[in-house]
Structure 1
Amino acid sequence: MRFTHKLFTLALALGASATAALGQVPTPAPAQAKPILLVGGTLHVGNGTVVNDAAVAFDKGRITYVGAQNGFAADKAAYEVVDVKGQHIYPGLILPNTTLGLTEVDAVRATVDSREVGVFNPNVRALIAYNTDSDIIPTLRTNGVLLAQVTPRGGMISGQSSVVQLDAWNWQDAAVRADEGMHLNWPAMVLKLNAAEEAQAVQKRQDARDQQLRDLESLLTEAAAYQQLPKGRKENLRLTALGGLFDGSKTLFIHVDYGKEMIEAVRFAKRLGVQKVAVVGARDAWMALDFLKQNNVAVVLSRIHALPRRADDDYDLPYKLPAILQQAGIPFCLDYQGDMEIPGSRNLAFIAGTAANFGLSKEQALTSVTLSPARLMGLDKDYGSLEQGKSATLVVSTGDLLDMRTNNVTRAYIDGRAFSLENKQLYLNRKFSGKYGL
């Protein structure tokens, strides 16, 4: 009886593992083994240039030729030639400001590892918590998102973000640029909540905010002084982590929305010696265009698919804000925040598509999710556009990548590696389509 029970248990376990395997994250692709040549497609370089009947060649993960097909002079016999006639070739999209790989199911606390306890956590590294086995990651790759800036949340200083590529065995393999940014959540200005609120209560909240800013100034001042100490000093992880803000090796990403708060936050950071500043969210950026440009502040624009903030705002203000920034000459890129942030991040391309219908050209919209975030994160020498010598990180789509009606990625490469576009959602779609005859 005991032997029969063991056989039953073993069979049940094997059956469960076989079923689970169908929905698992695909195995990461091996390194590129042979030169590849894509021919015949329409090439969208990512910097505004479009080439019809193009060719893109790459070997050992690097682009060796990009341009018109009739200008490719090498022997095609040495290449694995892929005919993509009638299709479109794009740089892999880059998703800024995301908890991808840090959050699996928002409602299940055990799957959320995006924040630490405390107010000031500059030494926190989002990279080491990044889960390459997340079921959500392949769903983004299927829509063309191949890199992401994994970002912590919570507190006033949340910690350090890192850029990862989305086909890796572990966080070490995934890392493209580690600890490239520090994230600061700017405390909201104090406003009277309602007519009945007493002045004493308002002042109490104002005093609390003033103390927060004094504590922040004290920490940044101490960090700047710490960098001047001689080598061999006793290590302080928090102050060491902040050091890159003062030599320009890290960007300070300030999460802030209101116009006055943006101006206050940028002036605060500049006064304390921070070299590179970007604002994240920035829904009131249109109110501070001259200030942002004069101070060389880049914008990570959030929540394009949103209602206006105020009753007297233009109904389409969130949609046309990218075009306003483009016209003002302010560097910007788009992220995906809002309800269902993580599973919805696969729609990054369609956020850019909306901007393309409200003032941006299609190529400008593409740049906002490729080359622009690459520049902001210091990756543009390798990623963000398809140019000779850069990484062969790209996607091929049968239709317009930024249009949800025609987006259909058929091939994708990260550093020249052709990986599987399979994901759990596609598997479930096939499973239940078969059951119900859809």
Structure 2
Amino acid sequence: MRALFTFIYCIFISIHLIAQPPTPGKPQVKAVALVGGTAHLGNGQVIENAIIAFENGKLTIVASAATANFDRSGYDIIDVSGKHIYPGLIAPNTRLGLDEVSAVRATRDFSEVGGINPNVRSLIAYNTDSELIPTTRANGVLIAQVVPQGGLVTGTSALVKLDAWNWEDAAVKEDGIHLNWPAMFVAGGIWYDPEPIKKNEGHPKILDELSRTFADALAYSQVKNPSPANLKLESMRGLFDGSKNLYIHANYGKEIIEGVQFAKIHGVKKVVIMGGEDAWMVVDFLKENNVAVIVSELHRLPTRPEDDVDLPFKLPAMLSKAGILVGLSYPGETKNYTNLAFMAGTAAGYGLSKEEALTLVTANNAKILGIDNQAGTLEKGKDATLVVSSGDLLDMRTNDVTYAFIQGRQIVLDNKHKRLFKRFDEKYSTK
């Protein structure tokens, strides 16, 4: 009987181990050179027949093979002829690593009780063993912003590398505080029986509460060594010296204006609009106040029936051409983040070139999130965080990531989707 139990236990453990995410890549020990591919630098430039070399996790050569003086000795050469090299994509406003199965409460760790929680840190809740991380990076997303949800001031977000043993290894930086701007108008009922939209009578009261919080935080920030420390106010200190962004989640035009004006009045240095469906209506205001916009999901219908049906697709181009710094996110269900590249591809079909669309999810996102000194473009001295695709990364028909590196570490691209595809392809294959 003991032998039978031991056998069953071993089988269970074996199955469990098979389901584990791939082991994180090992640190780079030898210089690597990708040769022969087409390099899309993420800043609008393209190099045909490129040499992209990196050592100790940093890019050392970004050049054309026709002009570069390149000695192959000392490098591991990877021939990527006919393929495309891109900076690793950056996904803002995600719940990656905080939400595994949305229908299972025990796997959701993205919100806290209470309305004002700036001190809540998403970083320490980030689960590096999530099965969703390998599926996301398989399409080129290598850095993500993990964001706490729920309430009014939801907490402090963090930028993480999508290949790590634990949250300490994954951490890039804690980048800002998130504020769900209170709606001016509310709609009742349910989707099949909606009630008329009406004014939000609680709006002034919520603004008063926010004003007190930000006024206290500003006063607190002017004290060098407060004792005892107030954790909520301490977490907001960076808003007033420019070391943290204030991300205001708002879509309605008047709410965008109100939120930005509120932040400026209370001494916040850097403001970013998350969502921004109506940002095209207030471009002059945004430009005047130097406010960046991270546009949310493009694959949707417009909010108003009188709007152009393709308005969401055109929004990034409209804002970019107006001089607004624009990034792109894919919020909502965690399974969607793998489609970030394809959303940029949609933008490329509605007013932007392919290289301009690529900047939305590379250089622009890096600049908005404050990591453009290390990621977002392929430039000498920056982190070797990049992907190689056999086809166009922004095209769902040809996207096929064959290599990925985070700070020079080669990433295993296996994931649950691929394993299931292989399993059932073998079962039902007629070959």
The reply to whether TM is greater than 0.5 is: yes
Matched residue, 2:294 = 300
Shift of residue 419, structure 1, vs aligned partner: 1.4
Structure 2: distance between partners of 1:345 and 1:392: 22
| Bigger shift: residues 21-30 or 124-133 | 21-30
After TM superposition, give the deviation of residue 71 of structure 1 in Å: 2.8
- 1:190 and 1:409 map into 2 onto residues whose CA distance is 44
Tell me, what secondary structure is at the counterpart of 1:325? helix
Match of 1:236 in 2: 230
Aligned residue number for residue 185 of structure 1: 180
- Please show how residues 160-309 of structure 1 align to structure 2 within 5 Å: 160-177=156-173, 179-190=174-185, 205-206=200-201, 208-309=202-303
CA 110–215 in structure 1, closer or farther in 2 if over 3 Å, else same:
same
State the distance in 1 between where 2:327 and 2:186 align: 30
1:33-58 Cα distance to aligned partner (Å, 9 max, x none): 10001000000000000000000010
Tell me the residue number matched to 2:90. 94
Structure with greater helix share of residues:
1
Match of residue 323, structure 1, among 299, 303, 317: 317
Q: In the alignment, which residue of structure 2 is the partner of 1:158? A: 154
Give the deviation of 1:17 after TM superposition: 1.8
In the alignment, which residue of structure 2 is the partner of 1:66?
Answer: 62
Query: What CA distance in whole angstroms lies between the structure 1 residues aligned with 2:378 and 2:187?
Result: 51
Cα distance between partner residues in 1 of 2:87 and 2:186:
44
Structure 1 segment 35-46 matched on structure 2, within 5 A: 35-46=31-42
User: Is the 1:93–1:370 contact (alpha carbons within 8 Å) kept by the matching residues of 2?
Assistant: yes
In 1, Cα distance between the equivalents of 2:195 and 2:369?
43
Question: C-alpha separation between the residues in 2 aligned to 1:418 and 1:303?
Answer: 30
1:397 is matched with: 389
The AA in structure 2 aligned to 1:172 is E
Question: How far apart, in 2, do the equivalents of 1:230 and 1:248 lie?
Answer: 16
CA RMSD of aligned residues (A): 1.7
The aligned counterpart of 1:433 is 425
Indicate the SS of the match to 2:66. helix
Q: Distance in 2 between matches of 1:197 and 1:36?
A: 61
Give 1:377 shift. 1.1
Give how far 1:337 is off: 2.2
1:37 match: secondary structure? strand
**Secondary structure of the equivalent of 1:247?**
coil
- The change in CA–CA distance for 1:38 and 1:239 in structure 2 (over 3 A counts) is same
Q: Secondary structure at the match of 2:73?
A: helix
Deviation at 1:303, TM superposition (A): 1.6
Give the AA of the match of 2:427: K
Aligned residues: 426
- Which of 117, 131, 134 does residue 135 from structure 1 map onto? 131
Equivalent position amino acid for 1:248 in 2: G
Q: Deviations over 1:309-331 (max 9, x none)?
A: 11110010000001001110100
* Alignment check: 8 A CA contact 1:23 1:427 kept: no
- Counterpart among 26, 46, 51 of residue 50 in structure 1: 46
Deviation per CA, 1:274-317: give whole Å up to 9, x if none. Answer: 11001101111111111111110100100200001111100100
User: Helix, strand or coil: the match of 1:162?
Assistant: strand
Q: Does 1:410 align with 2:405?
A: no
Gaps of 5+ in 2: none
